[in-house]
Amino acid sequence: MATRFQDLNLSNYFLFAAVAENEETSQLLLETLLGIKISGVKVSVEHSLLYSSDFRSVRLDVYVSDTVEVHYNMEMENSERTSLPQRSRYHQAEMDVTALKPGESFAELKPVYVVFICTFDPFGRGRYRYTFTNRCEEEDFPLGDGAARVFLSTKGMNESEVPKELVNLLHYMENSTDAYVSEVDDPTVRKLHERIRELKRSREWEARYMQFEELLREREREGLEQGRAEERNRILALTAAMAAAGEAEQIARLNSDPAFLEEMLAKYRLQDADAGDTRA
């Protein structure tokens, strides 16, 4: 059962994107998360989850550019995935491809930040913030390509090494409540909380959230039905192969012996090749 819109934390994909689509709020988020000053931002609404018609492209991204043409891609990430570094590479490449017009020089590429905000520790080293840039391994100097990938973790443990404002914000991601805001008394968190309270009072945004949740449920049902059909076809192929190989008397064991089923699927090379995570 879906969480009520009024009970969502900022770590929720939908609420995060809704908050970040406000340009003032996006600037506040980026400045706190990255520890830099930004001179105004423009949010690209057409790239966000709330307006995409292609479900596979609903990556819950928020694309932002500032007045000096630095580009930022923020994404909320709640599921532990070993492919996050590769996904950050993909997002950076996608931003680069769309940044250049036909005929423009590569020198026209602007600096880019790919930012993942994780409700887990993506590298298991206890840090609130991990920043990666390209450097020469032999002499340790920067490549200077203007690209940075930043991973934030709400599960960091190095509070003495990062700004208190960053720690407060990351903890607020998972505890977006009046009680927490009053406890930390942080101006940045307070401003974000005011924006969230405003959104949660909006019937329009609540309706959008309900529509989004229904879309997710429909896609999940479609995926389950497709999966069931594929599994049926796989079992039919297996029983046909076993019968052709003279093992028809063993077919009854498939339903009662899971280990035997897996053994036969492997024997006849009918394992599910798509069992892994394929999210782009």
User: What is the pLDDT, as a whole number, of residue 152?
Assistant: 98
With cut-offs at 50, 70 and 90, classify the pLDDT of residue 244.
confident
Question: What CA–CA distance (Å, rounded) separates 91 from 98?
Answer: 11
Q: By C-alpha distance, which of 71, 73, 72 is closest to 100?
A: 71
Question: 30-46, pLDDT tens digit by residue?
Answer: 999 999 998 878 886 54
Asked if pLDDT for residue 80 goes beyond 60, the answer is: yes
DSSP string, 178-190: HHHHHHH--HHHH
Locate the domains of the chain by residue range. Answer: 5-201, 213-267
Q: Which residue has the higher pLDDT, 190 or 56?
A: 190
Question: What does pTM read for this prediction?
Answer: 0.75
Contact 117, 33 (CB under 8 A): yes
With cut-offs at 50, 70 and 90, classify the pLDDT of residue 85.
very high
* Residue 45 in tokens: 């609404």
With cut-offs at 50, 70 and 90, classify the pLDDT of residue 1.
low
User: What is the pLDDT, as a whole number, of residue 53?
Assistant: 43
